[in-house]
Amino acid sequence: MKYIKRAESIKIEQSAETEQTVKEIIESVREKGDKAVHDYELKFANSNRAIALSADEIHEAENTLSPETKTLIERVVDRVTTFAKAQLNSIKPLEMELGDGVSLGHRIVPIEKVGAYVPGGRFPLLSSGPMVVAPAKAAGASRIVACSPASYKGTIHPAIVYGLVKSGATDIFAIGGAQAIAAMAYGTETVPKVDIIAGPGNRFVAEAKRQVFGQVGIDLIAGPSEILLLADETADPKLLAADLLAQAEHDPSARAILVSLSYKMAEKTIRHIEKMKEGFQASSPAHQSWSAMGEVVVCDSLEEAIRVCDEYAIEHLQLHVKNPESLKTRFTHYGSLFIGEDSSVVFSDKVSGTNHTLPTQGAARYTGGLWAGSYVKVVTHQTISGNGTRFLAEHASLQSAIEGLEGHQLSADVRLEKLKETT
């Protein structure tokens, strides 16, 4: 294995300053509610508007969009919802007998109140709202509270509002940053307290989610976008370059990585990237991202390349190789797999139907991305009777005695005594 290009830095560290700033925001919102939210919105976003979007504002936002834009958003909502429902249907309730008199099982129960955070950013990302909200609606959430920054003419961009409404959001608030996360986690006079918070955001949002975890559930803490392309000698260097740059433009800290089985192909791809970047605006994050975070690795064998891919545990893994379907089950650690040169990550970012909220910074080693299952609980139940009571009580009594747990032993023994009295 040889690096042709190596990143200047790999781990995105959260600063102590960010941690302390977020802690202060959360405590303030927890104690002062709406007043603190208003103060932080004015301080960070120069926004002095009402927290909640009114019905009139929502209606006005919808009327400003062209029919074409509405159609695009509706298509995203439909495809994400359809896939989310199919995923949910793959989780089945369970009933089973585990011995005479022992019945066990589980139910699938929706999380009632969901908090959805949708970033504002430099551009209105039409898919961001549906990706977070539509799976929650499909899962059966009864209330979906959505927060997004008032970063467009003093309010939320109309396209984001329309996507939230069509996806099933029940409440929409023009709040961004850590103050939005705190408001949803603890509730204010205006913002309802939720049970789980989902959705991507900047470093302040990510840190806020980390700090409120336990008070509420969270989906995952996602960092800047990542892509890894596995390529062999059959790959098209122009496609490779385009796919890498597409993710690099998300953020100055985005990671674009090429793992190649061909040194020649790797060099061609680098040349194409440098040429293509000339057409990007000078302000595009792709310039800094590729320069500081981009990596190109050449491996000596397919087996080595697969091992390298798993070590990265990347957010998006795309296969630009001959017979990519044959490799589908060879990888273990990734957020989402894109099989073949035409299975562009861009399609998933926008409209294919799979969710684009995925694990980053190696988190794919232990979790997948946001999906319908993120919004349900698998809750177990049991019914014990007859011979099952006798068998389990005898076991529990003996085990409790060994463990020194007198109350546990008593709970088992009184049932054994009752059984003796009735036989």
Give Cα 108 distance to the centre of its chain: 20
**Beta-ladder partners of 337:** 317
Whether the predicted pLDDT of 121 surpasses 90: no
Q: Select from 358, 123, 365 the least CA-distant residue to 226.
A: 358
Q: Specify the long-range contacts of residues 307-311, CB closer than 8 Å, at least 24 apart.
A: 308/1, 308/259, 309/228, 309/230, 309/259, 309/333, 309/334, 310/334
Instruction: Tell me: pLDDT of 123 over 70.
Output: no
Calculate what percentage of the chain has a pLDDT beyond 70: 98
CATH top-level class of 224-368: alpha beta
- The domains of the chain are located at 16-91+105-218, 224-368, 385-421
- Catalytic one of 316, 320, 341, 356: 316
315 noted as active-site residue: yes
For 362-400, the pLDDT digits (tens) are 999 999 999 999 999 999 999 999 999 999 999 999 999
Give the span between the Cα atoms of 195 and 362, in whole angstroms.
26
For residues 369 and 129, the answer to whether their CB atoms sit within 8 Å is: no
At 125 the pLDDT is 86
For residue 124, name the pLDDT band (cuts at 50, 70, 90).
Answer: confident
**pLDDT tens-digit profile of 189-235?**
999 999 999 999 999 999 999 999 999 999 999 889 999 999 999 99
Asked if 16-91+105-218 and 224-368 have one fold, the answer is yes
CA 49 – CA 42 distance, rounded (Å): 9
Catalytic (active site) residue 287: no
- pLDDT of 246 over the 80 cut: yes
Cα atoms in the Cβ-side hemisphere of radius 13 Å centred on 421: 6
Rounded Cα distance, 400 and 407, in Å: 8
Would you place residue 356 in the very low, low, confident or very high pLDDT band (cuts 50, 70, 90)? very high
Class of domain 16-91+105-218: alpha beta
Q: What is the pLDDT of residue 11?
A: 59
DSSP symbols for 308-343: HHHHHTEEEEEEESSSGGGGTTS--SEEEEEESTTS
